[in-house]
Amino acid sequence: MAVYFHEEDLPAGVLAPGVVAVDTETMGLITRRDRLCVVQISDGKGDEHCVRFARNSSYDAPNLKAVLADPARIKLFHYARFDLAAIHHYLGVMATPVFCTKIASKLVRTYTDRHGLKDLVRELTGKEISKQQQSSDWGGPVLSDAQLDYAASDVRYLHACHTALVERLAREGRTEMAQACFDFLPHRALLDLAGWAENDIFSHE
């Protein structure tokens, strides 16, 4: 297992075919203000790749964009709503089809209100991940080994979580419901970008 660091794009041919796990690191939580700094991606075979974008990046990353936009590849995210918006806004592609482990967790782990990635990974895989670097400066000129390991850990276990959650969704008869939620996520991300992030347009109010 290794973590690979790349500037501005993913090298061609480094990922095996099939499902990929994806996450992003940004300067903050307001997508239009807080730029995309890192996209981390894994094919689940043991290696993780972190692609860093500089302050004045053009985000011209054809290899990465091709993977993210590939309709034959499922993209695994934890809280896909945020990552889809960031990827669409900065890279100009919608990373579909998508499976969100946070949504799946909420649909099947109804015995808990702890749906963060750390808790999910602990229960489903028995692994521990650290969140110490979550709020660090991702826009600096140099990323530390601790930052890169943190970024990689956010995609390292998503394939295993996906497998377990698919089984639980089927067991509880909620596969179709989950898929409908996943299919709506790109639209939810676009609503966020268009200014409806804090408003529930489905509510009575």
Q: Is 192 contained in some domain?
A: yes
| Residue 103 confidence (pLDDT) | 98
| Segment among 40-49, 138-147, 159-168 with least mean pLDDT | 138-147
Q: Is 93 contained in some domain?
A: yes
Q: Is 205 contained in some domain?
A: no
Q: Is 202 contained in some domain?
A: no
| Residue 117 confidence (pLDDT) | 97
The structural domain count of the chain equals 1
Q: Is 201 contained in some domain?
A: no
Q: Is 185 contained in some domain?
A: yes
| Residue 133 confidence (pLDDT) | 66
What amino acid occupies position 176? E
Q: Is 204 contained in some domain?
A: no
φ, ψ of residue 137 to 5 degrees: the values are -80, 105
Q: Is 203 contained in some domain?
A: no
Structure tokens at 76: 């695994």
pLDDT tier at 135, thresholds 50, 70, 90: confident
Place of tokens 């302050």: 55
Q: Are strands 36-42 and 48-52 parallel, antiparallel or unpaired?
A: antiparallel
pLDDT tier at 131, thresholds 50, 70, 90: confident
pLDDT tier at 130, thresholds 50, 70, 90: confident
Q: Dihedral sign for Cα 168, 171, 175, 181, please.
A: negative
| Residue 183 confidence (pLDDT) | 98
pLDDT digits (tens, 9 = 90+) for 65-79: 999 999 999 999 999
What is the CATH number for 108? 3.30.420.10
Q: Which residues contact 46 (CB under 8 A, 6 or more apart)?
A: 1, 2
180 vs 141, higher pLDDT: 180
| Residue 205 confidence (pLDDT) | 83
| Residue 162 confidence (pLDDT) | 98
The neighbour count for residue 149, using CB atoms within 10 Å, is: 16
Q: Which domain holds residue 130?
A: 3-134+143-196
| Residue 178 confidence (pLDDT) | 98
pLDDT digits (tens, 9 = 90+) for 171-185: 999 999 999 999 999
pLDDT tier at 28, thresholds 50, 70, 90: very high
Q: How far is CA 140 from the centre of its chain?
A: 21
